[in-house]
Amino acid sequence: MIDKMQMLVSLATDFVPPDLVEENDDGFTLKFEEAPLSFFSSGGYASMEYCRAKVADLGEGEPPEGLCEALLEGNFFWRATNGARLSLNTKENAIYLTERFDANFISGADDFQRYIEGFMRTLMDWRMRVETYQEAKEARQ
């Protein structure tokens, strides 16, 4: 049986140039200029696949006022994330969007491309939201 990550790499190369696909030990990355997407697997019995992308770097200091609340509200029953999860990495001071999915339900390149397009819409939406909070923070300074 083909490994799910290898299957996804194969499907990805059906709709993106092969030089945008970078395989690594954990999975692979689609190196889109606007937003690199990392794909990896949890392994184990109930193996699931994940897609992750950086929403924004927050820079030095505290996150903008109200941003953490917006992230929590967006995560509430996946209200504003279409099933993905937002997280704040305090070591990097960055926000990430991560979605768990089951590659068994991706039957071809078209399915995988639709999945990626949906994830990218959510990612870009949150990038705009975070940018709005960051601009408001800068205006108050």
Mean pLDDT rounded to a whole number for the chain: 90
Least confident of 18-22, 41-45, 77-81, 130-134: 41-45
Reported as a single tens digit per residue, the pLDDT across 89-133 is: 989 999 999 999 988 889 999 999 999 999 999 999 999 999 999
Q: What's residue 2's pLDDT?
A: 54
Domains, the chain, ordered by start: 4-140 (3.30.1460.10)
> If you average pLDDT over residues 45-72, what whole number do you get?
88
Question: What's the CA gap between 93 and 73, in Å, rounded?
Answer: 19
Model pLDDT for residues 39-50, shown as the tens digit of each residue: 998 766 567 899
**CA–CA separation, 61 and 86 (whole Å):** 19
Three-state SS at 61: coil
Average pLDDT over residues 56-67: 89
Do 41 and 23 form a contact (C-beta atoms < 8 A)? no
